[in-house]
Amino acid sequence: MDFELNEDQLAYSEMAKAFAEKELTPHAAAWDEHQHFPLDVLKRAGDMGLCGLYTPEECGGLGLSRLDSSIVFEQLAIGCTATTAYLTIHNMVNWMISSFATATTKTQWSEVLSSGQKLASYCLTEPNAGSDAASLKTTARKNGDKYLLNGAKVFISGAGATDLLLVMARTSDEGAKGISAFAVPADSPGISYGRKEQKMGWNCQPTRTITFEDVEISADTLLGNEGDGFKIAMQGLDGGRVNIATCSVGTAQAALNHALRYLHERQQFGRELASFQALQFKVAQMNTNLVAARQMVRLAASKIDSKHPDRSTYCAMAKRFATDACYQICDEALQIFGGNGYMKEYPLERYVRDSRVHRILEGTNEIMNVIIARRILTEETNQIV
């Protein structure tokens, strides 16, 4: 087992780092302050292949592994957490289209999504269906050779600014087995968008409620077969959990980088902060937890790549550990800065705000514990190696 990055992975990392340093880092604070969704930068990200990292090459993507993609997302998140988080959502939808959509839908959407010419949103969560996604109420009822879509989705990233909505809707009353997935043009008649939500973090990407009222969609927009939606959603969420955990790792690395510089620059009691043992111990713990989180995330990504039977459990463990540990690292970095860390002049408070939601989305960390416990308590062989 080799934990070192190979030449290709190092090249992907350097490419992403260069893009982040040029296009993300200099603007992240202003985007956050003004709630600006950087569509021009996302288009340039598409030009670099960053909108279709693990979408197959025949669909316009780079065809990278999930591990390689994680390495790229980590470097991007060092530059801007919220923009990178949106890119991970877009990549997930793009992969779903390329993997499960009809030939007609792939032809219409795959290449323009991969190039960043068009952007996508993922529509699963509802007002009364968050952690219990199988209880969603949005319906897609057959109407001749089409479907009529009715219902509402909440907390949708990019809503109102994107071109394609991947919508999970109920086509029968059979619980999780009655859920189907549809690729819906975002400007379809009958779709309306709520106000832009005022959030604690992730301010540079719009988040809105979407309402569907008798939205007529073609049968060609169905992904897979009727009833495949929940299965598709869960496969997408395995990767989504690795992606969002990776964003936490990148953000924590950025926070630690700032803290280490500050420890050498700042003096108290006639000594630089780096000379105080209490702070030395603090950064030692932060760095150790960061390395542990990174390795768990990369392990989970490799389990997706190898189609390991326990990949969902690994993804849940990585998401739970990394998002908790990395949020704590960001908070500790802010503490090292003292009062300065609480000021918007420095990025530490933004790192804390932006990373906090990672413990909630793609399945709350409490739900991650349910997934992990269910696996190790109900299987005859409970060892996960």
Residue 362 designated active-site: yes
Q: Give the contacts of 27 (CB within 8 A, at least 6 positions apart).
A: 38, 41, 80
Structure-token match 């999504």, residue found? 113
Position 219: which residue type? A
Record the pTM. Answer: 0.95
Domains of the chain (ranges, CATH numbers): 7-114 (1.10.540.10), 120-227 (2.40.110.10), 230-378 (1.20.140.10)
Please state, in angstroms and rounded to a whole number, the distance separating the CA atoms of residues 188 and 383: 49
Cα angle 122-171-182, degrees, rounded to a multiple of 5: 30
Catalytic-labelled residue, pool 23, 111, 126, 362 = 362
By CB atoms closer than 10 A (0-12, 13-18, 19+), residue 186 is buried
pLDDT for the residue numbered 381: 64
Other Cβ atoms closer than 10 A to 192:
13
Other Cβ atoms closer than 10 A to 335:
14
Per-residue pLDDT of the chain (385 residues; tens, 9 = 90+): 778 999 999 999 999 999 999 999 999 999 999 999 999 999 999 999 999 999 999 999 999 999 999 999 999 999 999 999 999 999 999 999 999 999 999 999 999 999 999 999 999 999 988 888 888 999 999 998 899 999 999 999 999 999 999 999 999 988 899 999 999 999 999 999 999 999 999 999 999 999 999 999 999 999 999 999 999 999 999 999 999 999 999 999 999 999 999 999 999 999 999 999 999 999 999 999 999 999 999 999 999 999 999 999 999 999 999 999 999 999 999 999 999 999 999 999 999 999 999 999 999 999 999 999 999 998 666 666 6
Asked whether the beta carbons of 314 and 321 are under 8 A apart, the reply is no
